Amino acid sequence: MRITRVLSGALLALGLAAGPAAADSSPSASPSDGASAPTSAGTSFRTATEVEQGQTATASASTGDYLYWSFPADSGLRPTVKATVKLPDAHVAQTWQIDVYDGLRRRQACQYGAQTRTAAQGTASIELTCVLRTVRSWSEPWANDPLPGTYYVRLTAVGLKAADLGLPVDAELRVDSKDIGGAAAVDGSLAKPLVPGIAVTSATEEDDDESASAVLSSLEPDDGWASGWWTDRWVWSGIGAVLAALAGIGGYRLTRGSGRPRQVPPGA
């Protein structure tokens, strides 16, 4: 009975500790209060329009234009990028493509989703989706794994003929993330997230010279970078350790016996 009470108390305590981890596994938080969604897009990596996760950015452009947005993604998140292109009534068949790049401008493969789609003549709109792999807190230098930092989205029509250029279109972009939790945790972390200009900013902060700041991307997660250091991996590791200790205690009590010498009947 004593072992049962100890086991129940330990599991209850670990269940309460698992509460924050369960909350961390929910989808990414909504954008900051009062933040307005962007209504334009950049034309290059350097001029990419910053978008917070959970916002729906819009832009007006023409076929043949390159539209760029950027958003922050921290470790443990699996971002999903969705784009909708509203086409004019009179248009020929068009093929649109969405590409996602990390802070080093390495093109990231989509885990699944329709990254390239063709709109037949007369189609009112087309939707594109790119679900990235889970962002890792650390990776080998030779690997192409997603890492914490700024991510760039490029939307454009491909394979257009000269007569098809210049048609007006409207585009929408939305980025959401799912927190994968301890299943994606690795042993290691980056010294700095892959944010353009962050190394220059760190140096200027050490010199107390804010005027020389050269940050090219100002958005970051609500709780700061590497906010997902606490995952349910810690909870399950703790549960395993407690259960192993209790199993050892129970086995010891069962194998040592009652501890009393055996009584020998008189005259035996």
Q: What is the residue extent of each domain of the chain?
A: 14-237
Residues of the chain with pLDDT under 50: 1-4, 6-7, 10-14, 16-29, 33, 203-204, 209-215, 228
pLDDT tens digits, one per residue of 4-22: 454 455 444 445 444 444 4
- The single residue listed with the structure tokens 């700061």 is 224
Q: Which residues pair with 158 in a beta bridge?
A: 95
CATH fold group of domain 14-237: Jelly Rolls (2.60.120)
Is 105 in a helix, a strand, or coil?
coil
The pairing of strands 77-86 and 125-132 is antiparallel
The conformation of residue 220, written as its DSSP 8-state character, comes to -
- The single residue listed with the structure tokens 């290691």 is 188
The alpha helices in the chain, defined as continuous H runs, are 2-24, 198-206, 232-256
Q: Which of 62, 63, 59 is nearest to 160 (CA)?
A: 63
49/215 Cα distance (integer angstroms):
14
- The single residue listed with the structure tokens 């938080």 is 29
Is 91 in a helix, a strand, or coil?
coil
pTM: 0.71
- The single residue listed with the structure tokens 């230098």 is 141
Phi/psi of residue 235, each to 5°? -65, -50
